[in-house]
Amino acid sequence: MAAADGTGAPPRAPALVARAALGRRARLTRGRVVGLALATAMGLAPWTWFAVRDRHPYFDAIAAILPWAVPAAVVFMLYSAALLRSWRCALGWTLSCLLFSSAAVGGPARAQGTGPVDGGVRIAATNVLGNEIDLERYLAELADAGADIVAVSETGGAVNQALRAVYPYARSAADRQPAPGVGGRDVAIYSTFPITSLDPTGARRFPGENVRVEHPDGPFILSVQHPRRPGFDMVTGLQTYLDHDRVVRDLRAWIDDQDLPVILAGDLNSPDRSAAYRTLANGRLDAMREQDAKPTSRRTSWLRALDLRIDHIIVPADWCSDDPIRLELTGSDHWGVVATVGRCAEG
């Protein structure tokens, strides 16, 4: 209906105008609520990792590549924020990813000081890559580090011969036949203290060697293990993640059953952000975390970029650790780890 002066449409009734304004505000409010919910969900999405990471062994594959996954997530979130034209989302999502990276990647290596050791024993865990190691420098590094006991993975004939000339007591997993699929025949232990095998005649249950060490402060068990590198099948890895999970769970159960204190050392092929590592270390002390622990795998440049810490020295929770260091191990694709461990000094 035209206005009385014939100039156009009649003015809308005030009630209709108010209703239309309320409708617009309601739609804007719903849009803001949905947008806020989506923004919050994306910001919190990385943190769901802590809820799911122990649900299945295959999540350890994701744990290994987290240093790459986090930057990829940041790029995706920045792209999404650009589409939404929201710098607040970009800032919030990026900050969330960076905080998550600090907790998930850096957290398991962060220092947890324990205090001084009362006496103790100096343990070195070294993967020497067979006879590829620079033997002269290797022996010099061990001497400089003051290692009382050397746990060797991927040992070779020349390494064995050289270490037997330095350390009076030795034990090699190659001396006995492992159970099928166990592996670890390349593990050896060299000690300044007397050692005896805990299973001198039977087939080895685990991928390494377990010995009793007669130390002046009291006997303890040293378990030197080298599980096969996990993968999705026997083509992509040397054992599946399921098999790796079974091995570490059996090993932890065995450790918990022992009457003597147990030191677990070696190339465990379990990154410190993996469920396998948590199975072995939870409720115990990671000796390298007396200070911020550093990566130990350096096979290729892309592996170095993943900051994988797979060589460990893990001791009872009521022990302490002193002076943890890395060894260069020229010629190997690992850094070695060394620490003094033992009962905590009083006071």
The CATH number of the domain where 200 resides is what? Answer: 3.60.10.10
CA 33 to chain centre: 39
Secondary structure (3-state) at 205: coil
Both 64 and 203 in one domain: the answer is no
Both 204 and 67 in one domain: the answer is no
Both 142 and 91 in one domain: the answer is no
- Tokens 């997530």 belong to residue: 73
226 neighbors 132 (Cβ within 8 angstroms): no
Both 122 and 88 in one domain: the answer is no
Phi first, then psi: give them for residue 116, nearest 5 degrees: -75, 155
Band (28; pLDDT cuts 50, 70, 90):
very low
Both 169 and 256 in one domain: the answer is yes
> Which residue in 144, 157, 265 sits closest to 213, CA to CA?
265
Q: What percent of the chain has pLDDT over 70?
A: 82
Task: State the pLDDT at residue 242.
Answer: 92
- Tokens 């622990």 belong to residue: 293
> Is 113 contained in some domain?
no
> Is 71 contained in some domain?
yes
Both 195 and 51 in one domain: the answer is no
Neighbours of 168 (CB within 10 A): 12
182 neighbors 207 (Cβ within 8 angstroms): yes
- Residue 239: is its pLDDT beyond 90? no
Task: State the pLDDT at residue 89.
Answer: 74
> Is 4 contained in some domain?
no
- Tokens 């050392």 belong to residue: 265
pLDDT tens digits, one per residue of 188-208: 999 999 999 987 555 567 888
- Tokens 């797979």 belong to residue: 310
Both 325 and 250 in one domain: the answer is yes
Last residue of a domain, one of 73, 108, 143: 108
Secondary structure (3-state) at 230: strand
Between residues 135 and 13, which one has the greater pLDDT?
135
Both 163 and 104 in one domain: the answer is no
> Is 140 contained in some domain?
yes
Enter the pTM of the model: 0.85
| Domain, as residue range, for 338 | 118-343
Neighbours of 147 (CB within 10 A): 25
Task: Give residues with Cβ within 8 angstroms of 292, minimum separation 6.
Answer: 109, 110, 111
170 neighbors 189 (Cβ within 8 angstroms): yes
* Radius of gyration from C-alpha coordinates of the chain: 29
Alpha helices, DSSP H, located in the chain: 14-44, 49-52, 59-64, 66-84, 87-101, 135-145, 157-164, 241-257, 275-281, 301-305
Looking at the 3D structure of the chain, how many domains does it have?
A: 2
Last residue of a domain, one of 71, 90, 108: 108
> Is 18 contained in some domain?
no
Between residues 107 and 204, which one has the greater pLDDT?
107
Both 102 and 204 in one domain: the answer is no
Task: Give residues with Cβ within 8 angstroms of 290, minimum separation 6.
Answer: 111, 112, 113, 114, 320, 321, 322, 323, 324, 339
Q: How far apart, in Å, do the first and last CA atoms of the chain sit?
A: 95
Q: What percent of the chain has pLDDT over 90?
A: 55
Q: How many helices (H) and strands (E) does the chain have?
A: 10, 14
- Residue 119: is its pLDDT beyond 60? yes
> Is 224 contained in some domain?
yes
Both 219 and 285 in one domain: the answer is yes
Between residues 205 and 24, which one has the greater pLDDT?
205
> Which residue in 187, 188, 205 sits closest to 269, CA to CA?
187
Neighbours of 209 (CB within 10 A): 28
172 neighbors 192 (Cβ within 8 angstroms): no
Task: State the pLDDT at residue 113.
Answer: 81
Both 311 and 331 in one domain: the answer is yes
- Residue 6: is its pLDDT beyond 70? no
- Residue 90: is its pLDDT beyond 50? yes
pLDDT tens digits, one per residue of 246-305: 999 999 999 999 999 999 999 999 999 999 999 999 999 999 999 999 999 988 887 788
> Is 12 contained in some domain?
no
Both 210 and 338 in one domain: the answer is yes
Could you give the CA distance from residue 71 to residue 81 in angstroms, rounded to a whole number? Answer: 15
Q: Which of 36-50, 125-139, 206-220, 226-240 has the lowest mean pLDDT?
A: 226-240
- Tokens 């400089």 belong to residue: 144
Query: What are the tokens at 54?
Result: 């122990």
